[in-house]
Amino acid sequence: MVGGGPGSFIGKIHTKSAQLDSQIELVCGAFDVDPANSKLQGKEYYLDPSRAYDTFQEMISKEKDLPEGRRMDFLSITTPNHVHFEPARLALENGFHVVSDKPLTNNTEDARKLVRLVEETGLVFAVTHAYTGYPMVKEAKEIIRSGRLGKIRKVVSEYPQGWLSTPLENTGHMQASWRLDPAMSGKSNCMGDIGTHALNLCEYITGLKVTQVCADISIMVEGRKLDDDGNVLVRFDNAARGIIYASQISAGEENGLKIRVYGEKGGLEWIQVEPNTLIVKWLDKPIEHIRPGNPWCSDLAKYNTRFPAGHPEGLIEAFGNIYRNVATCIQHRLEGKEPPAEALDFPTVYDGLRGMQFIDSVIASAESENKWTKFLE
């Protein structure tokens, strides 16, 4: 692991999720820019002290020299945005698979470099757009893929939060400070941090691609250098229309990710704060409420469900599904086998690139006088 040192929120999510299915063991880490903190975090994880490294460069170099079966198999990146690219690049160049938090990089140029490296090496690369790991998100994807809703006409993907309604970054709040610093976060805060999730969710569930955007990107709290609110009209490659919006100044909201998809025959709705229910609405019959663990769920949803019906699954399990699928793919490679198709269902480096292109597109649209901007690929 790179990152996830003392005080890290996302690092704990990754470690708990990775170990959920007992297929992955944390064996080494460069957890913090301060070597002392890295050693401290390694001690908390009961690691061999010699494998709590001072830097990720040292870790990758020394792990590569260890014999197969002892060295790490893949690298998990849980750092702020500006420290995603270099560990990923170095890991790929030295033969290690990668799981990276999102967004993929700080800019699209670096994202394309990682795509090329993945294509050259053939290594596994996952991006933790974790909301795609929920069983009912998988179910929504399968319902649309089956054609039961008919041609998709309308998609609304929204992600409101309220935690940046005040200038929290001026109080020393670590999570706010780096996200609103262009040197660490890139050209966008809100649309990069959570807008990319909203994009990824709607493209994953529908199988459609955004082709044009009309964006209004705003800084609502005075003095900030990066956006805290964004509203984007979108057009899809099947002529469907949609709205993708993200906000971190929606006072009172917690983590309100929600998606609605409407086809010719019906629609569906999924809300992240109640992730175990998928609502399906029909023109000619009653509303359905679908929950995981039931026999009528799709095979893909069943594959990603751990508990019997009526037992809630949450964010750790959704993250865990990505890690489990990555582990399954790596294990099958080690054994010279093809992994099951269900195990290949996780966000990849290409999804990460789409996220960076989305950021470029909405920022370009917001700065343009034109009504519509082509999705920048």
Beta bridge partners of 158: 245, 258
* Confidence (pLDDT) at 9: 87
Clarify whether residues 49 and 159 are in a common domain.
Answer: no
| Dihedral angle computed from the Cα positions of residues 207, 313, 100 and 24, in that order, rounded to the nearest 10 degrees | -120
Residues 322-346 pLDDT 10s: 999 999 999 999 999 999 999 999 9
Decide if 323 is inside a domain.
Answer: no
The CATH number linked to 113 is: 3.40.50.720
Work out the angle at residue 335's Cα, subtended by the Cα atoms of residues 62 and 120, and round it to the nearest 5 degrees. Answer: 60
State the total domains in the chain: 2
Q: What is the pLDDT of residue 183?
A: 94
pLDDT at 334: 92
Examine the domain organization and report whether 141 and 266 are in the same domain: yes
In a domain, 264, yes or no: yes
Between CA 172 and CA 186 the distance in angstroms is 20
Give a three-class secondary structure readout of the chain.
CEECCCCCHHHHHHHHHHCCCCCCCCCCEECCCCHHHHHHHHHHCCCCHHHECCCHHHHHHHHHHCCCCCCCCEEEEECCHHHCHHHHHHHHHCCCEEEECCCCCCCHHHHHHHHHHHHHHCCCEEECCHHHHCHHHHHHHHHHHCCCCCCEEEEEEEEECCCCCCCHHHHCCHHHHHHCCHHHHCCCCHHHHHHHHHHHHHHHHHCCCEEEEEEEEECCCCCCCCCCEEEEEEEECCCCEEEEEEECCCCCCCCCCEEEEEECCEEEEEECCCCCCEEEEECCCCCEEECCCCCCCCHHHHHCCCCCCCCCCCHHHHHHHHHHHHHHHHHHHHCCCCCCHHHHCCCEHHHHHHHHHHHHHHHHHHHCCCCCEECCC
Which residues have C-beta within 8 Å of that of residue 370, sequence separation ≥ 6?
none
Q: Which of 123, 154, 170 delimits the end of a domain?
A: 123
Question: What pLDDT is recorded for position 70?
Answer: 94
User: Are both 191 and 91 inside the same structural domain?
Assistant: no
Amino acid found at 90: L
Residues 280 and 150 in one domain: yes
Residue 205 lies in a domain: yes
**Residue 363 maps to a domain:** yes
Q: Could you tell me if 163 and 308 lie in one domain?
A: yes
Q: Are residues 57 and 157 in the same domain?
A: no
Instruction: Give the separation between CA 103 and CA 129, rounded to whole angstroms.
Output: 9
40 and 153 assigned to the same domain: no
* Residue 277 domain-assigned (yes or no): yes
Low-confidence ranges of the chain (pLDDT < 50): none
pLDDT at 285: 95
Residue 227 and residue 300 in one domain: yes
What's residue 344's pLDDT? Answer: 96
pTM as predicted:
0.95
CATH of the domain at 243: 3.30.360.10
User: Is residue 308 domain-resident?
Assistant: yes
Beta bridge partners of 52: 29
Task: Take residue 338 and report the two structure tokens written for it.
Answer: 């093809």
Picking from 123, 155, 183, the residue at the C-terminal end of a domain is 123
Range of the domain at 36: 2-123
Does any domain span residue 283? yes
Q: Distance between alpha carbon 203 and the CA centroid of its chain, in Å?
A: 13
Do 230 and 285 share a domain, yes or no?
yes
Question: Do residues 48 and 173 share a domain?
Answer: no
* Pair (176, 93) in one structural domain: no
* Residue where a domain terminates, one of 57, 88, 123: 123
On whether both 212 and 65 belong to a single domain, the answer is: no
Residue 330 inside a domain? The answer is: no
Please list, in sequence order, all residues whose beta carbon lies within 8 angstroms of the beta carbon of residue 187, skipping any fewer than 6 positions away. Answer: 107, 226, 359, 360, 363
In 3D space, the residue among 127, 57, 141 whose CA is nearest the CA of residue 349 turns out to be: 127
Instruction: Note the pLDDT of residue 65.
Output: 97
Closest CA to 125 of 358, 346, 354, 359: 346
